[in-house]
Amino acid sequence: MTILAKALCFLSLLMFSGYALSGDKMAGETRYKETCINCHGPAGKGAASYPKISGNEVSYTKSKLEAYRDGIKQGPNSSLMFMFAEALTDGEIANLAAYLKDAKYNEN
């Protein structure tokens, strides 16, 4: 295999792996509305003692949810988050993180 062919294969892999690893915002919004909205409010804007969770980088949100799923304390509401995050799949975490990155609350 020539150097050019190897380079093209490598670049193709990089382009498509990013796509495959990114979450689905629409699926994330649907999943968010099933559970998360009850505490964190519309579009993750925060409610009462539950923090705003929208607007963070995808990697930050994913790492937080993965830590909760693994039972690692992250803050004062960790025990509640353990229960909800325990059932999340890697795909659901990626979807939630993708949705929350740009989620906006629109009062209508």
Provide, rounded to the nearest whole percent, the portion of the chain with pLDDT above 90: 69
Q: Which CATH architecture has domain 23-102?
A: Orthogonal Bundle (1.10)
Residue 103 main-chain phi, psi, to 5 deg: -65, 135
Task: Give dist(CA 42, CA 45) in Å, integer.
Answer: 6
Q: Is the pTM of this model over 0.75?
A: yes
Domain positions in the chain are 23-102
- Token pair in block for residue 16: 């498509």
Residue of higher predicted confidence among 82 and 18: 82
- Contacts of residue 1, defined as CB under 8 A and 6 or more positions apart, other chains included, come to 9
DSSP label of 50: B
